[in-house]
Amino acid sequence: MKLLIVIGVIVSAIGLVGLVVSLLRVLKARRAGLSDEALKEAVARAMPLNMGAFALSALGLMMVVVGVILA
């Protein structure tokens, strides 16, 4: 079960990196001084990455919890 915990930590870390990348994309778009419509489009393009990274992070945390319970 230690392997499940390690894999869960790695998956969660990848999800966390994805969340940071998504945040940086939106901040970069905000600082660029884009129009309202262009800013909405930039946020819409970052949303799938954000949701996928969040799901990956949650899945990794679930793996860690299951690994701890089974250990």
pLDDT digits (tens, 9 = 90+) for 1-56: 899 999 999 999 999 999 999 999 999 989 988 888 988 998 999 999 999 999 99
Measure the CA–CA gap between 57 and 46, rounded to whole angstroms.
16
Instruction: Give me the residue spans of the domains in the chain.
Output: 2-70
| pLDDT confidence of residue 18 | 95
Measure the CA–CA gap between 71 and 58, rounded to whole angstroms.
20
| pLDDT confidence of residue 32 | 87
CA distances from 48 to 17, 34, 55 (A): 14, 20, 11
